[in-house]
Structure 1
């Protein structure tokens, strides 16, 4: 339809130009008497065609020079003028179409990021944007903005296009490089098992982490089902197993079983893959799954008098007596402090571009702190727990501290044993020090790489 409209407008412009050219011919032609007519009964000054044989006026002068000049002018200028108009209009339409497409993709990307309903694009966002543009820039800009398609189906298709494009770019990046996988299986709110796979790879001299795919597992979540889905996805994407250098999973038996688990299945197709147990998962197990209780305990300690105790008194609860017990409050202050430090450790080993070296260093350093804190607590020194120290100093409860320091030391040693259980000796500092300092590393825990000596011969100077 647009092409037809462009051609029609072009023909109209060309006809108008030819008419104007005919007027130019008539204006430049010498005037003749009204009685001088041609064979068709019209005035001799009217020409039906520029290629008609020139006529001779009464005074014997010919119009050959003027006619030939105007004929050449018509053939050269008039068609070119029409073509210029067509090209300009077609370019404007293409530019407007591309702008609308880009705008739609930009809005769809925001929808995907915010996880909003697609229907508000046409029901709310577009009318609001048009109203603002009409008020600030007038009807013309508002009309252009109103042509942007933001229907539910359009936004959905744009999001799928963006996802497909990102997926294609990711596959092209990792096709010819070595990569590592992080695999996790979980259950969503609809009680469906989801297999999530993340990939780490090197691109442009930097390590990148991206989600490779997320797929639903049908039936039971056995090691066979997990490996079948993982293997089919990698083959579909063209990623060979021999390029995989590492796999990170949680501690479930279906994942780490050397014979029947996922580890055994992968080792059959990629025997050189290095398997690791997720450090964040082990750290959560060592904390007895008290991942977020530090903030809860801290908030309870801060509002113990103003809000919690008064509320319990109004309700007639017997729990209010605990908020008047100095021993109980001292224990609460200690727990709030120690679990706040555990949460800080958990956050420090998360985030992009983390690696097993820095994560192991942080975990091992915290494990060493636990052992030293236990010794200092037995001596009555609690300055490493700021809430407990503040509570003791404000209420002058140094005698109370003598009653709980033994329990604090016992709890700290229990945490130390949990960390020692889930973080064994293979992740100690000596295991990977040859990577940190390859030229100064020594010891029996690693292999020393030596470059062959080069024999240089001293050459005699010339002359």
Structure 2
């Protein structure tokens, strides 16, 4: 037994005892070292008794390779190991070392296979979640994963890496229900992230309501808030409204969701909506009800909607030309045979386009695009209607005055469409949108002055044969546009907010700032380091960076920069809703979750989602 134990050296000295009593730390260290040396170590010869080791290498425990019993370190002696073999496995006491070595190798292989399977299942779960995110981003049906993506991946992997890799790909769970659950988990992860970020930030809302293909009303809301050193736009919610869509109903839905997110109206700095009575009604409108909760709210009527209202034609002569133009287009577009014949005619004449565009009143850019397309296919239309013997339409298209009016409408609506398109962006705010409308107003005044003197250089496609007849028509329409801008945008000037864009310029005293705000502005304008920083970073990042040092002024600046100027994001969201809820998916119940994964600026943490569930491979 002496060769299996390291015995403690006997000191027996009174001097050493006294040293240990005087220095207890050294005594404890020596005892720990002794205990370490007394730990029994595994010897390869123990395998003939059917024992291997497990646990810590410094203090191993004997492990029976037959029954899996684990014994204490004190049992790591041949006599105790042999007693276990003879008492519990008497039928194996005559087996040699090779037999137990074979048992140990089999257990090692089984352990490796199990660990490999667990690792593969975790990878398969991660791949399943990533595929679910792709499907949600593309607004596709859940069955696409199992019916298209998985077979395609198997074909590709088999061709590139062989059948073994194909079997691994088959383990990824991609069924319809699995993808549905994955999207719900991704949506929940995003929602928790948004909730956490909104707790310590003010925010602005843009809200709109529309119906889907199944006539279900949906209330869509986006939020804009400060995230780190930037201002971001984020999908907030999409709630179905089963009955009425009054202002009180909209207010209740948004309030309930804010309460679920542990938010209040006090943190909201502004709301942007369209001009519907349920949104902007002075008594029972949604915004009016929200203002009762927070009187400091900034309300904004969508700039895009107002720009479309500005472009409404009030002059009877121009309105008649537009009506006749729609008749011409509808004669061809509403008849499939006429559309095919016109297409063949355009191909034979090597035309730039082969189809006309349909005018739709609810599509804001439709009017200008239809006018432009008809003007470009003017000659082709004359030839086509001559063949069709439609003298009324040919008479319009050959009339110089009628064509001059059409060309003017084409030019002016192209300008209006350009302005509308320039305001359709994710990062638009009140300052940038106002600048574009101010520029349009100035252009209209310039065009009106030049048109009054018979100069139509600003409209290059207009004919010069009917200038005298067109002068009063053009001037009258431009005057109406100018008046409409003043009507729908009564306060178009943003000069009093120039300090937000550049706090280092000479600011007039009558800009509506309080004393503490003016003092902070004076301090900022005198800081040369901030002036250099202002020239290198965006406006929103600059004001976010000085929040702690100048809280009052930065809060006022950011409340304006946060405010939405258009409902562009809501319109974009409704387009996504139409892609998600098609005729074949009109009974989809997870609409909000699908849209959150598709439209969110904040992306989910896929590894965090994967850890919440036990990994399972597909059978």
Q: CA deviation at 1:324?
A: 1.7
State the distance in 1 between where 2:108 and 2:311 align: 75
In structure 2, the residue matched to 1:342 is 416
Change (3 A) 1:236 1:52: closer
The TM-score with structure 2 as length reference comes to: 0.57
* Pairs within 5 Å for 1:404-415: 404-415=470-481
The 10-residue stretch of structure 1 (257-266 or 348-357) with the greater mean CA deviation from structure 2: 257-266
Aligned partner of residue 148 in structure 1, secondary structure: coil
The 10-residue stretch of structure 1 (244-253 or 379-388) with the greater mean CA deviation from structure 2: 379-388
The 10-residue stretch of structure 1 (398-407 or 332-341) with the greater mean CA deviation from structure 2: 398-407
* Pairs within 5 Å for 1:194-233: 194-233=218-257
Change (3 A) 1:156 1:408: same
Query: 1:434–1:446: 8 Å Cα contact kept in structure 2?
Result: no
State the distance in 1 between where 2:198 and 2:103 align: 54
1:403 to 449, 459, 469: 469
In structure 1, the residue matched to 2:560 is none
Matched, 1:101 2:125: yes
Matched, 1:428 2:452: no
Query: 1:432–1:446: 8 Å Cα contact kept in structure 2?
Result: no
* Pairs within 5 Å for 1:138-153: 138-153=162-177
Q: Deviations over 1:341-382 (max 9, x none)?
A: 111111111111211001011111111111111111222222
State the distance in 1 between where 2:147 and 2:305 align: 44
Change (3 A) 1:19 1:321: farther
* Pairs within 5 Å for 1:53-452: 88-288=112-312, 291-306=365-380, 308-317=381-390, 318-388=392-462, 392=463, 398-425=464-491, 427-439=492-504, 440-442=506-508, 444-447=510-513, 449-451=517-519
The TM-score with structure 1 as length reference comes to: 0.75
In structure 2, the residue matched to 1:43 is none
Change (3 A) 1:407 1:156: same
User: Aligned residues, how many?
Assistant: 385
Query: 1:293–1:339: 8 Å Cα contact kept in structure 2?
Result: yes
Higher RCO structure (Cα 8 Å, ≥6 apart): 2
Task: Structure 2: state its 5+ residue gaps.
Answer: 1-43, 50-76, 83-95, 313-360, 524-619
Q: Deviations over 1:383-434 (max 9, x none)?
A: 222332xxx3xxxxx3422321321121111111111111012x31224223
RMSD value, Cα: 3.3
Aligned partner of residue 182 in structure 1, secondary structure: strand
State the distance in 2 between where 1:335 and 1:141 align: 63
Query: 2:400–2:465: 8 Å Cα contact kept in structure 1?
Result: no
The 10-residue stretch of structure 1 (265-274 or 175-184) with the greater mean CA deviation from structure 2: 265-274
State the distance in 1 between where 2:425 and 2:111 align: 53
State the distance in 1 between where 2:414 and 2:189 align: 42
State the distance in 1 between where 2:454 and 2:147 align: 66
State the distance in 2 between where 1:168 and 1:248 align: 25
Query: 2:209–2:217: 8 Å Cα contact kept in structure 1?
Result: yes
Of the two, which has the highest radius of gyration?
A: 1
Aligned partner of residue 164 in structure 1, secondary structure: helix
Q: CA deviation at 1:192?
A: 2.5
Query: 2:207–2:272: 8 Å Cα contact kept in structure 1?
Result: yes
